[in-house]
Amino acid sequence: MSKYTWIIIVVIIILGGGYYLMTRSNTSTVVTAPTPTPVVQITTSPTATASPTLTNKTFNISISNFSFVPATVTVSVGTKVTWTNNDSVTHHVVSNPNGNVFMSQLLATGQNYSFIFTKAGTFNYHCSIHPSMTGIINVIE
Ligand SMILES: [Cu+2]
């Protein structure tokens, strides 16, 4: 027999076996393979994720001499607040009580952290390394 005849026989056996397994019992649990999810190629550019209106509203807070300067600020909803560590020691910006609203990475000298406030409210924060360092962000509509 030719190679192709053998291939056809093998295919028939596989198909027949599969058909048998699928139809031998209507009451058994048939485990079907999950429908493959189409692969979506993400081609959006990084700038597409940020709303242009948000980047127009920024506020800078300096961390210097173990203080947030200014310590209390009032900004409007959508403002991006950036803390920059101008001290020679590491600081850590953490919303009260446990950073559930925002939390920076550990900020070494010269490093900064930004957070965009999308909801109105009063947000108290502190430095987890130096608990005496506190600040307040008032976000208004
Ligand atoms: Cu600190």
Q: How confident is the model at residue 12 (pLDDT cuts 50, 70, 90)?
A: very low
In a domain, 110, yes or no: yes
In a domain, 12, yes or no: no
CA–centroid distance, residue 118 to ligand 1 (Å)? 25
CATH number at residue 65: 2.60.40.420
In a domain, 40, yes or no: no
Give the number of residues written for the chain.
Answer: 141
> Which pLDDT tens digit goes with each residue over 43-89?
545 554 444 444 469 999 999 999 999 999 999 999 999 999 999 99
Kind and range of the H or E run holding 19? helix 3-23
CB 73 within 8 A of CB 60: no
> Which pLDDT tens digit goes with each residue over 120-131?
999 999 999 999
CA–centroid distance, residue 76 to ligand 1 (Å)? 26
> Which pLDDT tens digit goes with each residue over 89-128?
999 999 999 999 999 999 999 999 999 999 999 999 999 9
CA–centroid distance, residue 7 to ligand 1 (Å)? 72
Residue 132: domain span: 46-140
CB 124 within 8 A of CB 138: no
